């Protein structure tokens, strides 16, 4: 029974490898093998490779300093963090939000078997992430510091202890996520904020990693003494990898007790967890007079409501909203230096700074592609705009307008910053600001057009239209190609006519392209939208 349940759990976790949500059918054998090869390359190649490099950098100097325990402490800490955070959302969904809880509870399966299967699934997922750090850590240390029976047995015990700690932390974190998500009001905004903090933290550590490693190696004895003095438990934990029996048995006993306790708590509370009603907290409705909106205002409001209620949509299609103003501020502070650098590097091509600033703003604007998936996101509710007395053209224009507003407002700020710092005459300054704004208008209309031309309405997970649809790919990469063309053509031949004429030509071309796309949307696009479904 347990084997069957575990197989089901794992099939669910890896379902995207077997099932193509975009085409709504099972993948071919070749595609399944391809996806698993890709997965192995990512896990074994990228993650294992990164941590093998880290282990190689740390192991030799720390082993020579007689501080193998610090090496194991650092890498075990990373393994625990990666394992717990890597599988926390899987734990949350698998352990606390199982969609098949009702079904399983109605079958003749003891609750403890269900929870054991769920825990084993969490354990395997966490172990998968933790192994990418721990296995290279152990192998590198055995190779560098030498192999003894105690080191091998204690190393394997350390592996077990760390993976069980990952399991315990995943359960606790999953429980915290479940509790928070039940209480949160603006869940999507909080998710976006946390994701941005995570991405920011990741890049901060990534860029500081080399300095951190150097610092640890240089001051290993100082850090080692501090840890040993302030947190003796951590010192003992690190000693497990060195082959110290007593700490190994002590931590093995503590984690085993923690595991039994978690299993008991979850087994006893599983029925409550599994049958919890979800986030339907009763809210008192207060009748109030609502401000009337025009038809277009209502359609636009609907588009904004969809965007702001969906964290996936905001993160994947609206990242530019944050980056564009940041770029504007950076231009104000570092713009002069950047322009001087460009001027020096491309001294034979005057006006390059103006064109490259335009290119940068256009490329940043391309990071926003919320119009492209907006038609596909109508999904099963497509019948609403189709049965309401609104022209398909108005529906499409509302989608483009949402993109336009969300991008043009921050872009206006960044464009003004660029115009202020660029060393050029007033006419070029105006064009440096105008070209990205006109480009954004074209981009919003083009995204809508490609969205209605390549709709994907049969999705079951909104990530499919948001991340995997052809429309989004074309809108995103198309934007970058246009941006690259803007810079590339100038550096190749455009500089001969000067930045003023070159940017003016682009402004006219982009405005014309936007006008043609708008006309297409009003005619062919509207017809296509009316015929969707």
Partner 1 sequence: MLNIEHLTKTYGETRAVDDLSLRIRPGEIFGFIGHNGAGKSTTLKCAVGILKFDAGEITIDSDSIKAAPVRCKQKLAYIPDNPDLYDFMSGSKYLNFIADIFAIPADVRLERIHKYAAAFEMMSALSQPISAYSHGMKQKLAVISAWLHDPKLIVMDEPFVGLDPKASHLLKEMMRTHCDNGGAIFFSTHVLEVAEKLCDKVAIIKQGKLIKVGTMEEVKGDDSLEEVFLELEAE
Place of tokens 């091998």: 152
Structure tokens at 237: 């934990």
User: What are the Cα distances from residue 93, in Å, to 80, 203, 228?
Assistant: 20, 27, 38
Comparing CB distances to partner 1, the nearer of 233 and 533 is 533
The set of residues, in sequence order, having a beta carbon less than 8 Å from that of 506 and lying 6+ positions away, is 358, 435, 486
Place of tokens 């070159």: 502
In angstroms, give the least distance from the CB of 285 to partner 1: 4
Comparing CB distances to partner 1, the nearer of 393 and 498 is 393
Comparing CB distances to partner 1, the nearer of 239 and 306 is 306
Place of tokens 């359609």: 299
Comparing CB distances to partner 1, the nearer of 280 and 344 is 280
In angstroms, give the least distance from the CB of 308 to partner 1: 8
Q: Using CB under 8 A, list all residues that contact partner 1.
A: 278-280, 282-287, 289-295, 297-299, 301-302, 305-306, 309-310, 379-381, 383-384, 386-391, 530-531, 533
Instruction: Please compute, for residue 2, the number of CA atoms within 13 A of its CA located in the half-sphere on the CB side.
Output: 8
CB < 8 Å & 24+ apart, contacts of 52-58: 52/136, 52/140, 54/78, 54/209, 54/213, 55/136, 55/137, 55/140, 55/141, 56/140, 57/213, 57/217, 58/213, 58/216, 58/217
Comparing CB distances to partner 1, the nearer of 107 and 282 is 282
In angstroms, give the least distance from the CB of 375 to partner 1: 15
Comparing CB distances to partner 1, the nearer of 344 and 387 is 387
- Count Cβ atoms below 10 Å from residue 172 Cβ, excluding itself: 14
The packing angle between helices 111-145 and 245-274, to 10°, is: 150
Comparing CB distances to partner 1, the nearer of 113 and 391 is 391
Contact (CB, 8 A) for 360 and 334: no
In angstroms, give the least distance from the CB of 296 to partner 1: 10
* Separation between Cα atoms, residue 201 and residue 205, nearest integer Å: 6
In angstroms, give the least distance from the CB of 379 to partner 1: 7
In angstroms, give the least distance from the CB of 387 to partner 1: 4
**Is the Cα torsion angle 57, 61, 64, 68 positive or negative in sign?**
negative
Comparing CB distances to partner 1, the nearer of 77 and 393 is 393
In angstroms, give the least distance from the CB of 528 to partner 1: 11
Structure tokens at 174: 């999953």
Element containing residue 196 per DSSP (H, E): helix 187-218
* Separation between Cα atoms, residue 45 and residue 125, nearest integer Å: 18
Comparing CB distances to partner 1, the nearer of 221 and 461 is 461
CB < 8 Å & 24+ apart, contacts of 334-341: 335/417, 335/418, 335/420, 335/421, 335/422, 336/421, 339/421, 339/422, 339/423
For 98-160, strand residue ranges (E) read none
In angstroms, give the least distance from the CB of 383 to partner 1: 5
Comparing CB distances to partner 1, the nearer of 403 and 429 is 403
In angstroms, give the least distance from the CB of 378 to partner 1: 9
Element containing residue 3 per DSSP (H, E): helix 2-13
Comparing CB distances to partner 1, the nearer of 211 and 531 is 531
In angstroms, give the least distance from the CB of 522 to partner 1: 14
- Ramachandran area for residue 62 (φ above 0: left; ψ -120 to 50: alpha; else beta): alpha
In angstroms, give the least distance from the CB of 451 to partner 1: 18
DSSP string, 213-280: HHHHHHTHHHHHHHHHHH-HHHHHHHHHHHT-HHHHHHHHHHHHHHHHHHHHHHHHHHHHHHT---S-
* Separation between Cα atoms, residue 59 and residue 209, nearest integer Å: 16
In angstroms, give the least distance from the CB of 507 to partner 1: 36
Comparing CB distances to partner 1, the nearer of 286 and 344 is 286
Comparing CB distances to partner 1, the nearer of 211 and 287 is 287
In angstroms, give the least distance from the CB of 214 to partner 1: 48
């Amino acid at each position: 029974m347990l084997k069957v349940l575990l197989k089901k759990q794992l099939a669910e976790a890896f379902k995207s490898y077997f099932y193509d949500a975009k085409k709504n059918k099972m993948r071919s054998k070749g595609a399944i093998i391809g996806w698993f090869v890709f997965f192995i390359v990512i896990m074994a190649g990228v993650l294992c490779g990164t941590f093998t490099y880290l282990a190689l950098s740390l192991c030799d100097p720390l082993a020579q300093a007689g501080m193998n325990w610090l090496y194991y402490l650092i890498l075990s800490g990373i393994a625990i963090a990666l394992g717990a955070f890597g599988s926390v959302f899987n734990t949350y969904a698998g352990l606390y939000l199982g969609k098949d809880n009702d079904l399983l509870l109605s079958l003749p399966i003891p609750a403890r078997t269900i929870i054991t299967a769920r825990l084993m699934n969490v354990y395997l997922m966490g172990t998968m992430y933790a192994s990418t750090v721990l296995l290279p850590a152990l192998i590198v240390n055995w190779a560098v510091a030498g192999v003894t029976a105690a080191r091998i047995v204690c190393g394997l015990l350390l592996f077990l202890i760390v993976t069980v700690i990952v399991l315990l932390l995943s359960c606790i974190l999953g429980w915290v996520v479940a509790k928070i998500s039940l209480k949160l009001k603006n869940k999507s905004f909080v998710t976006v904020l946390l994701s941005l903090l995570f991405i920011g933290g990741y890049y901060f550590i990534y860029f500081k990693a080399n300095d951190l490693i150097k610092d640890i190696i240089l001051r290993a004895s100082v850090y080692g003494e501090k840890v040993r003095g302030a947190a003796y438990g951590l010192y003992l934990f690190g000693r497990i990898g060195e082959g110290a029996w007593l700490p190994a048995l002590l931590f093995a006993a503590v984690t085993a007790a923690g595991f039994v306790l978690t299993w008991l708590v979850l087994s006893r509370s599983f029925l409550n967890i599994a049958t919890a009603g979800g986030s339907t907290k009763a809210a008192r409705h207060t009748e109030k007079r609502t401000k009337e909106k025009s038809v277009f205002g209502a359609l636009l409001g609907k588009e904004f409501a969809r965007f702001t209620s969906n964290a996936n949509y905001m993160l994947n299609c609206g990242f530019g909203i944050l980056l564009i103003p940041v770029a504007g501020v950076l231009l104000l502070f570092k713009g002069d230096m950047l322009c001087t650098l460009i001027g020096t590097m491309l001294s034979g091509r005057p006006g390059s700074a103006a064109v490259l600033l335009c290119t940068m703003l256009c490329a940043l604007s391309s990071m926003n592609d919320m119009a492209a998936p907006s038609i596909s996101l109508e999904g099963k509710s497509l019948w609403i705009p189709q049965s309401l007395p609104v022209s398909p053209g108005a529906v499409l224009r509302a989608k483009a307008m949402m993109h336009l507003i969300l991008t043009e407002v921050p872009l206006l700020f960044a464009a003004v910053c660029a115009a202020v710092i660029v060393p050029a005459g007033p006419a070029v300054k105006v064009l440096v600001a105008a070209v990205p704004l006109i480009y954004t208008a074209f981009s919003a209309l083009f995204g809508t057009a490609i969205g209605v031309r390549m709709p994907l309405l049969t999705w079951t997970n909104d990530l499919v239209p948001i991340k995997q649809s052809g429309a989004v790919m074309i809108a995103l990469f198309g934007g970058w190609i246009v941006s690259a063309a803007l810079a590339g053509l100038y550096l190749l031949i455009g500089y001969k006519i000067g930045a003023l004429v070159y940017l003016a030509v682009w402004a006219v071309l982009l405005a014309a392209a936007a006008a043609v796309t708008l006309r297409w949307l009003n005619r062919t696009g509207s017809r296509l939208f009316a015929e969707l479904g």
